[in-house]
A and B are shown apart, each in its own frame.
Chain A
Amino acid sequence: MPDANCCLSASKLTKIFGFGRQKCCAVDHVDIELSEGEVISIVGESGSGKTTLAKMLLGLLKPTEGEVYFQGKKRDISTQKKRKEYWKNIQAIFQDPFSSYNIFRKIDAVLLDCIYMRGGRWLSRAKKLEMMEEACSFVNLKFEELTNKYPFELSGGQQQRLMIARIFLLKPKILLADEPTSMIDACSRATILDELMQLRNEIGMTVIFITHDIGLAYYVSDTVYIMEHGKFVESGSADEVILHPRAAYTKRLINDVPKIYEEWDLSTV
């Protein structure tokens, strides 16, 4: 039984895809524990099971084996109502901003949904507008320019920032960011990371970063988990893991990232 301080934890979480000879173990008996207000990163190359793990934590995939505990209690998402209740506490930002929005709904509707989810359905229209404006100005977008537009009219970076504005309105306890910056350019990446971290300080949420970029993990997180073939091969504080890696896999990952102060060794691929 996990202790009360921990916000989300999982024990022996396993996901197996396929049957018989085609069986593929995507996540293999993973234990993970998150305390409140912590920022953790899960790092691994493509196909290492990062996203599968994230989907199980979010409740989008049913684990083959293992349990997820939320705030010390076993997670219960057996009915749609309970699931919605759970999603008030855990929210996600996905990799591809272009496919995370419903293309038939305007930006106003996207933001209004968030207000409704927090029980703001009976607020006055002026109050709702004020909340939406506040959320947009938090991410340096202008609500007057966004209103009555569709999400696909924005650039990738702006869409991802709108996603953060959503999170700002929802104020979840846990945010799961699945490669939030891999589809946008380096310049907007800095803006988005900055805003995410600001938001985190404001509402004190726990953040799970999923990324293949170990540099990003080093920059944002307190604790880093390195994942290989569905298992954690190394975990610890960011400084410990990245500056003094022990596992061979971690060393390889660090070696694969282009650097500017040290020589980038191209011979080991």
Chain B
Amino acid sequence: MSNVILEVRELTTKWVTRFKEDIYAVDHVSLKVEEGKSLGIAGESGCGKSTLALSLMGYYFPPLHYVSGEIIIDGQNITGMNPDDIRKSILGTEISYIPQSAMNALNPTQKVISFIEDVVQAHDPYKTRQEIYDLARESFECLGLPASVLQKYPVELSGGMKQRTVIATSVILFPKILIADEPSSALDVTSQKMVIKMLKNLMENGFIKSLIFITHELPLLYNVTDEIMVMYAGQIVEKGTAKEVVFDPLHPYAKGLMGSIIVPEQGQRDVKLTAIPGAPPNLKNPPPGCRFAERCRYVRPECRVAPVNLYDVYGGRAYRCILSEKTLREAYRNA
């Protein structure tokens, strides 16, 4: 039994709009990440992936509010902690985050090194500049970035370099778990590969112990992570190992996502892309039954009546649908 780094139990968070409406973007999400493992979160835009990433850090600022649930990082329950304590002792050192638009995360008027100084000194005000410089140089070189980057302004760096700088900065305090929110969506394939290689290196060299990777690119997720969780309208709809979810999806939504994969491999030209019709439901007043019912091909009248529970198949595999595993597989075979 390996060490559990991050455990989340029934976490629910909400956004409050200007008109005082509650939007539950993360709805009773439970997950577990073990040491040395990586978890992928898939789903289309607007399904709550990024909100989940923000909520996992336990640091809430309006309009995002905590509702219920527990977050346990390496045995320490951080729910209900003073936000200032969380910022000082949890963020950066225990759990760290790469924002989606990392290209714009750097301050254009600051050199990279002074940005890093700010980060380190916020946690340890007694570190000298020389110490910080040595620390930064060491980690930059380890990650394949030249140390000269430290003395540059962000505008002098290319998109891929900026992204890697942000990653290197986010792990400078050796967090136990890193959340990467679409780190490669704005990059071309070559820079994307460099970023992925860097994240893998981080895991192997022990900078971080576990990784949560969020993206909508399934081939990428399949190659990077051990486990995949598919989210839809704030809920987990399917959970399993990468191989199971990609090649043998159970939930109709996960199945639909697999239809949008494009890879340059033999025979892929003749495979027809299948898009899921419609758009995700408005979470202001979600439907009472299954949230995917409106867009589902296999919908039944009983789907729309009551909320559907996450149904556990066996160790770690789960899906949220009223149909049985057998019925679903049969339906896919006949499709």
Name A's B-contacting residues (CB within 8 A): 45-46, 140, 155-157, 183-191, 193-194, 212-219, 238-239, 242-243, 252-254, 256-262, 264, 266, 269
Asked if B281 is an interface residue, CB under 8 A from chain A, the answer is no
19 contacts between A and B (CB under 8 A): A46-B191, A155-B45, A156-B45, A184-B45, A187-B276, A188-B45, A190-B259, A215-B263, A219-B273, A258-B196, A258-B219, A258-B263, A259-B263, A259-B264, A260-B223, A260-B261, A260-B263, A260-B265, A266-B200
- A-contact bits for B256-287, CB 8 A (1 contact / 0 none): 11011111111011000111110100000000
Residues of A within 8 A of B189 (CB): 45, 212-214, 253, 256-257
**What is the distance, in angstroms, from A189's C-beta to the closest C-beta of chain B?**
6
Asked if B119 is an interface residue, CB under 8 A from chain A, the answer is no
Are B223's CB and A258's CB within 8 A? Answer: yes
Residues of A within 8 A of B88 (CB): none
Are B216's CB and A185's CB within 8 A? Answer: yes
Asked if B112 is an interface residue, CB under 8 A from chain A, the answer is no
Interface of chain A: mostly helix, strand, loop or mixed: helix
* B194 and chain A: residue at smallest CB distance: A269
Are B219's CB and A155's CB within 8 A? Answer: no
Partner of A157 from B45, B219, B223 at Cβ < 8 Å: B45
How far is it, in angstroms, between the C-alpha of A257 and the C-alpha of B246 when the chains are bound?
17
Name B's A-contacting residues (CB within 8 A): 44-46, 158-159, 186, 188-194, 196-197, 200, 216-220, 222-223, 246, 256-257, 259-266, 268-269, 273-277, 279
Are B220's CB and A258's CB within 8 A? Answer: yes
Residues of B within 8 A of A191 (CB): 275
How far is it, in angstroms, between the C-alpha of A45 and the C-alpha of B194 when the chains are bound?
13
Are B275's CB and A194's CB within 8 A? Answer: yes
* B222 and chain A: residue at smallest CB distance: A260
Residues of B within 8 A of A269 (CB): 190, 193-194, 197
How far is it, in angstroms, between the C-alpha of A216 and the C-alpha of B193 when the chains are bound?
17
Are A46's CB and B188's CB within 8 A? Answer: yes
Q: Which of B220, B262, B265 has the most CB of A within 10 A?
A: B262
